[in-house]
Amino acid sequence: MRILEADTDAYGEALQVFQPFSELAELGSELTFNAHDRNKVRCSLQINGQGIIPTEVKSLTAAAKLSVKAMPKGRFHEIYQDYACGCCLRIGREILALLPVDYVLTTIQVAATDLATGNLTDLPILSALLDRSTMERLNFAELDPSDSMANFITRGDVKVSKKTGAFTGITPLTFDDLSFGPDQKEGIDSLRQRVGDIRTRFHRALKPARAEIEPANLSND
């Protein structure tokens, strides 16, 4: 009920209960979440470094022997760029499916060495405002994650320096950088549909818990 009433404190509690980003956590990623207001949230995700992408390409030769070659740097960075942008899209899809918000401002970070101090720091490399209306039009089964960023307001492109191989850092977007006009407000029909979807998800999540409790109560009678 608190989520249906757009209680922003309940937004974070819902993410803890349903854990929609458990798969990202298994990849070693770290997510922080804050509700800006009842219709907008912001997230920051620290993703794994470039070590998550294989550095070699394996194939079979005509003689059925294994061939191992170094992956071309250009291809390596393309894959990592898709990985980072794919994580960004995943955050937007999960939050928009779970919460009654229309905007998810996501910043992707990597652990990088601060050349001024020599210490590791969280370096923002991509910031994107994912809006519900655009996300609902995308065909996620066919799109290219990196190319899909052209549909949104973004800052950064997950590129690295050709000389040093280091990521290009950015200043993350904030909601103060963006404007939201009256035409961007949702209609009552859209709100009702999303409230219904959220209610259904809550009922489904509670059913297993009830099923476990009821047999225990019967055995005590």
DSSP string, 143-187: --HHHHGGGSEEE----B-TTT-PBPP-PPP-GGGS---GGGSPP
**Residue 139: pLDDT above 60?**
yes
Q: What is the pLDDT of residues 81-105, one digit of tens each?
A: 999 999 999 999 999 988 889 999 9
Strand partners, 44: 32, 107
Percent of the chain with pLDDT over 90: 31
CB 139 within 8 Å of CB 93: no
pLDDT digits (tens, 9 = 90+) for 34-80: 888 888 999 999 988 777 788 888 888 888 888 888 888 888 889 99
Would you kindly state where each structural domain of the chain is located, as residue ranges? 8-186, 188-221
Residue identified by tokens 């918000």 is: 101
Structure tokens given for 195? 């409230």
Token pair of 94 as six digits: 């999960």
pLDDT value, residue 6: 61
